[in-house]
A = this chain, B = another copy of it.
Amino acid sequence: MVTKNFRDNFAKIAPYVSGEQPKMDGLIKLNSNENPYPPSPKVKKAAATIESAKLSLYPSSDAEELIDKLADYHGLKTENVFVGNGSDEVLGLAFRAFFNSELPIAYPDITYSFYPVWCEFFKIPFVTFALDDSFRINADDYIAPNGGVVITNPNAPTSIGERTDFIRKILDNNRDVVVIVDEAYVDFGGSSSIELIQEYDNLLVVHTFSKSRSLAGIRVGACFGNSELIAVMNTVKNSFNSYPVDTIAQKLAIASLDDESYFSDIVHEIITTRENTVKALEQLGFHTLESSTNFIFTTHESIHAKEIFVHLREDKILVRYFNKPRIGNYLRITIGTAAQMDALIESLERLI
């Protein structure tokens, strides 16, 4: 086909519509699953001592220091670790690296909304399987020929975490494809499958610095797997962008990993605030799914989620509402500080 117009060659991709990010003073932002606490003071200190002269040079393409640190942190070898420009880039590159079958890849119908987007971007066929009536993933759905499997665990926006045995069942029944387990929220009470990479050479576990480590602003994600999978990830990365994690981001991510006590303190604080919020919401007539994440997924016994969303927004409290089948009467609410959640409860008390 000879084109008649340069527009004929544009990518046939539907624009992805992300959640609103309005800017207003006094906004309580509980819509993006960001961490309400700043990163470790060690991160601030590292940022203050950046050597300007080093910025003229390209970052280390292999990100050795950060990869060494992550390997050490998780008790792995460096050959089991890969880092990228946020876990979104890591996942996108993993789709390109491992999902090249003619069979569709499989993932749940209600999960991270970017999976179909990457499938379109890389022209990967996919099929989705419905969560059950309790919004749980049915492992049996993934016992069938497919081109790969992606499981978010804990899942989003449901907040529900599955135990390692569940992941093991999916792995045992999918030895002929790569299984990606996206653990963006695992630090808030989930069960990590990271140790299973020693046992399953087809398992890739993806982590992010954007949630539990309060570093969404610097874009660092990582994945862990058998050295063979990591080698393919490196080949694919080096075929797209050799230096995706910049010099400063690498330095600040290392500083974060160097402060385990701060990390566990804020994670613990968020879990405590979450449990208190769930109890307070229960007294107001909310039913909340059991969360292993830094957000909750909740529905009210009589007032529609959309109405609650609009009311909260008027009170400058932003939560996430999905106008979609099955979850249209639920709200996804990020766990903020105790004070922010008190403001949320007070606003809801005025409505209910």
Contact = CB atoms under 8 A, between A and B. Distances in A.
B52 A148 contact: no
Given A38-B56, A56-B39, A3 B238 contact: no
Given A9-B100, A55-B218, A88 B239 contact: no
A201 to B, nearest CB: 8
Contact of A85 (B85, B100, B147): B85
A242 to B, nearest CB: 6
Interface stretch (A130-138, A154-162, A173-181): A173-181
A147 B6 CA distance: 9
Contact of A11 (B176, B218, B236): B236
A174 to B, nearest CB: 8
A176 B5 CA distance: 4
Contacts of A35: 56
B101 A8 contact: yes
A331 B344 CA distance: 65
A46 to B, nearest CB: 10
A184 B310 CA distance: 48
Interface stretch (A57-65, A281-289, A300-308, A318-326): A57-65
A140 B44 CA distance: 55
A5 B120 CA distance: 24
Pick the most buried of A9, A18, A34, A235: most chain B CB atoms within 10 A of its CB.
A9
A13 interface: yes
Given A6-B98, A89-B244, A242-B88, A52 B47 contact: yes
Nearest to A50: B47
A43 B11 CA distance: 36
Interface stretch (A71-79, A190-198, A208-216): A208-216
A26 interface: no
Contacts of A252: 55
Contact of A1 (B32, B41, B47, B102): B102
B43 A240 contact: no
A155 B284 CA distance: 67
A37 interface: yes
Contacts of A86: 241, 243-244
- Nearest 3 Cβ contacts at the A-B interface: A217-B247, A55-B217, A44-B52
Given A4-B176, A9-B148, 12 more contacts: A3-B103, A6-B202, A9-B178, A12-B100, A15-B235, A34-B56, A47-B248, A55-B216, A55-B252, A92-B241, A218-B247, A219-B246
Interface of A: 1-16, 18, 21, 29, 32, 34-39, 41, 43-44, 47-48, 50, 52-61, 85-86, 88-89, 92, 96-103, 117-118, 120-121, 145, 147-148, 175-178, 201-202, 210, 214-219, 228, 232, 234-236, 238-244, 246-249, 252
28 contacts: A2-B103, A3-B101, A3-B103, A6-B98, A6-B202, A9-B147, A15-B238, A16-B242, A18-B242, A34-B57, A34-B58, A39-B55, A48-B50, A55-B216, A55-B218, A56-B216, A56-B217, A57-B217, A86-B241, A92-B241, A118-B239, A121-B239, A121-B240, A217-B248, A218-B248, A246-B249, A248-B248, A248-B249
